[in-house]
Amino acid sequence: MGTVIRRWESGRPRGTPHVEIVCDESGFAGGNLVGGHVPVFAHASVRIGHAEAAEVIAGLRRRMDGGPSGELKAGAVLRPRHRDLVRDLLGPDGPDARVHLIDPVRFTLARLCDLLGGQEVRGTDLPGRGSEARRAALTLHVQGPKTYGRERWHRFLTAASDLMRTNTRWTPREPLAPFAAALDDLLSTPGEVADVLRPMRDRLPAAAAVRAALKADPKRATLLEPVVPALGRAAAMWMPPGGTLAITHDDQSAITPERIAAIAAGTGLVEVTLVDSRTDPRVQVADLIAGIARHLAGSTGDDLAPMLLPILDPESRGMIDPP
């Protein structure tokens, strides 16, 4: 067993189907999703037992002649001489896994389109819940830099990110006015992107209301923390019909009891345990798969990238270009 750091549980009825999975993420950006430092965020969920996971890690080390000391990370397995190990991990004989991928900038734009598009906004939900919001976010993502230039567009992205962040001292105290100014700057240039952005101008009071609600209740899920909706997607993908689910996850400060309860409401998610990944081989396997997926999704032309398709969460397809 891994070293348990925190546990949330609600109990489960006897005699119902029960599934246990483990999860880890790769590409945590601390809420700064538009800084460009992490082009892909990956969240992996794996159904695997302790003994099987320990054997996977031991087998990788044997084939790597021991490998690096300490916890085995994706960077070591991704070295050119070990590409056969990647094939085995992601192939049909590898661990039973699912991966949720996002482009952090597209995530931010989709959340903005929800916030200023009349949609209910909850940090536990994936952004771009409606097809119209996802189409709008894709237009902004593809056409924004082309229309305004990278520097001008990045100023807008930063203002949009600041508008939706409520838990950091690095954002302006009152970010609504800077965002409105950045929006007006873009609206001064007519075109397809401006047509998408223009309705947002009249909906800024809604953004102010959402910000006020989040600041009044900081235990609610923040809008720009992708690990929270990714955890919700893992729960949805693995939940057995009419049954219950337990999740073990690497310790992550964004995963709080309040946010778990919001994800679990009305579902069969009955337990979430946060552990130290260094002591749990199951989470180490999830970490390896997440790290490999993040690398392959962010690499142009890697011939291993199509191996992600069978394990890719369908909801990722609106948040990242297909491998």
Q: What is the mean pLDDT of residues 215-221?
A: 89
- Asked if 234 and 247 touch (Cβ cutoff 8 Å), the reply is yes
Residues 6+ apart with CB under 8 A from 255: 227, 228, 231, 249, 272, 274
Return the pLDDT at 2.
65
Q: What is the mean pLDDT of residues 139-153?
A: 97
Checking if the pLDDT of 69 tops 90, the result is: no
Return the pLDDT at 1.
56
% of the chain surpassing 90 pLDDT: 78
Listed range (51-55, 206-210, 263-267, 297-301) with the worst mean pLDDT: 297-301
Q: What would the pLDDT profile of 268-288 be if each residue is shown by its tens digit?
A: 999 999 999 999 999 999 999
Q: What would the pLDDT profile of 96-140 be if each residue is shown by its tens digit?
A: 999 999 999 999 999 999 999 988 899 999 999 788 898 999 999
Return the pLDDT at 82.
94
pLDDT tier for residue 295 given thresholds of 50, 70 and 90: very high
**What is the overall mean pLDDT for the chain?**
92
In this structure, which amino acid lies at residue 26? Answer: S
Q: What would the pLDDT profile of 1-46 be if each residue is shown by its tens digit?
A: 567 888 999 877 777 899 999 999 999 877 789 988 889 999 999 9
Return the pLDDT at 320.
85
In terms of average pLDDT, the best of 16-30, 40-54, 292-306 is 40-54
Domain boundaries, the chain: 104-216
Backbone angles phi and psi of 213, in degrees to 5: -65, -40
Backbone angles phi and psi of 164, in degrees to 5: -100, -5
Return the pLDDT at 123.
94
Predicted structure pTM score: 0.95
**Which pairs with CB-CB distance under 8 Å and at least 24 residues apart come from 75-78?**
75/291, 77/288, 77/292, 78/291, 78/292, 78/295
Return the pLDDT at 151.
95
